[in-house]
Amino acid sequence: MLQQALNRPVLFLNDADAAGVAEVRWGAGRGVTGTVIMLTFGTGIGTALFVDGRLFPNTELGHMELRGMEAEKFASAHVRTAEKLGWPAWIERVNVYLEQMYALFWPDLFILGGAVSERFAEFAPLLRSRAEIRAAHFAGQAGVIGAALAAAASAAGV
């Protein structure tokens, strides 16, 4: 309906998927083969799942059950702020989430994004995972960049 109303092509992409597109195409996941999971930490936990560069859209894995609640109610950046958690306490929760994600998908790489990724150097030494972990190259701007890349690819028929 929107395409008809605007008389132009329309593409829908959720925020974490858009961020993942930017990071896999040009950022922290560029050139990585295998399974890559983009995680955005903010009000919730956004997720984007890629296998060999191909997006599996709308995964919404921040809503999976973890310790009797939705994962994003346990380990989001919002929870860190609301509960006044320091880096060690918050990252311990993130590590529990990463462990569960690893058990389910065996990714080769986790990319951590959202505004918190701008402070990656402060908490990176506390992170634990059997998969490599990288900060999002485009930090909080990855979603905007990825949406533009997806729109350009759609317009080009790719």
User: Per the domain annotation, does 102 fall within a domain?
Assistant: yes
Residue ranges for the chain with pLDDT beneath 70: 158
Percentage of residues in the chain having pLDDT higher than 70: 99
Domain that holds residue 91: 15-148
The DSSP bridge pattern shows strands 109-113 and 35-41 to be parallel
Position 128 scores a pLDDT of 98
Position 139 scores a pLDDT of 84
User: Per the domain annotation, does 90 fall within a domain?
Assistant: yes
**44: closest CA among 130, 147, 113?**
113
How many structural domains comprise the chain?
A: 1
User: Per the domain annotation, does 6 fall within a domain?
Assistant: no
User: Per the domain annotation, does 157 fall within a domain?
Assistant: no
User: Per the domain annotation, does 83 fall within a domain?
Assistant: yes
CATH of the domain at 121: 3.30.420.40
Tokens of 100: 């569960």
Tokens of 49: 């799942």
Q: What is the pLDDT of residues 59-81, one digit of tens each?
A: 999 999 999 999 999 999 999 99
Position 25 scores a pLDDT of 95
User: Per the domain annotation, does 8 fall within a domain?
Assistant: no
The DSSP bridge pattern shows strands 45-51 and 35-41 to be antiparallel
User: Per the domain annotation, does 158 fall within a domain?
Assistant: no
